[in-house]
Amino acid sequence: MTRPSISKDMGILVLDRTQYDDAYHLQKTLQIKRIADEIPDILIVTEHDPVVTLGSSADWDHLLRTDEDYELLGIEIFTTDRGGGVTYHGPGQIVLYPIFKLEAEERDLHLYLRKLEAIVLKLLAQYQIPATVYPGITGVFVGNRKIAQIGIRVKEWVTMHGLSFNIYPNLNHFRTIVPCGLSQYEVGSMAGELGYRPEWEKIVSQLLQSFELSFNRSPVLLDQSWLNNRCDYGEQFFRIKSPTLLPKITPSSSSLPS
């Protein structure tokens, strides 16, 4: 089977750990610019400080601790405009936020969600982890353990929010909520399935390769100056991880606007 030609660039922003609220505002900024065609498609990759977020269909009763408990645990609480219920983000997760303009046959949100799931399924298969999806439930499971969460929002066919993938997060933090309202399921991690902690950067690199193939986009690493110049965010907000972590991706000195 012939590999399809690459039709679009995909700028990759691999950020050091971020606060959820900061990353949300960065997404909004990039989404507005993408709608206006001022920037190419962007994929943000990061991990968050501990936070519980409530999506558009969240039930506040699915927060199982008091405000004081969450404060003692160092977990912030945010309401957000993605779809879905209550979930947790924290260190040891990989969070991927595609700011993609969906065009032509891509304008099918069910297809878009299935592609995000398939990226995780493909990666887990590389590690012989028998993952699956269940009808009517968005996300990826290993048995009864949810290992990847998905929630999106789309405006003028430009996406934001996206996918969080449990590599080695603190699973006890998930036990302070009813994740995604699914009380009958547990939460798992890649480390829990493998019996060791996989390398965060290696998993990121493998996920980006799957994004390239699944979405027919050519990845280009973006640097600190691109982020500062295009979005007026200095290093006090976001720091780009070293590009040496992802050596197979084209550096940002090429065709993307600066």
Q: Among all residues, which ones are annotated catalytic?
A: 180
Cα(131)–Cα(121) distance, rounded to whole angstroms?
6
Single out the residue of 184, 93, 205, 202 nearest to residue 147, CA to CA. 93
Contacts of 235 (CB under 8 A, 6+ apart): 224, 228
Secondary structure string (H, E, C) spanning 136-196: CEEEEEECCEEEEEEEEEEECCEEEEEEEEECCCCHHHHCCECHHHCCCCEECCHHHHHCC
Task: Give the number of residues written for the chain.
Answer: 258
CA separation for the pair 258, 246 (Å, rounded):
20
Q: What is the separation of C-alpha 119 from the centre of its chain, rounded to a whole number of angstroms?
A: 11
CB 213 within 8 A of CB 189: no
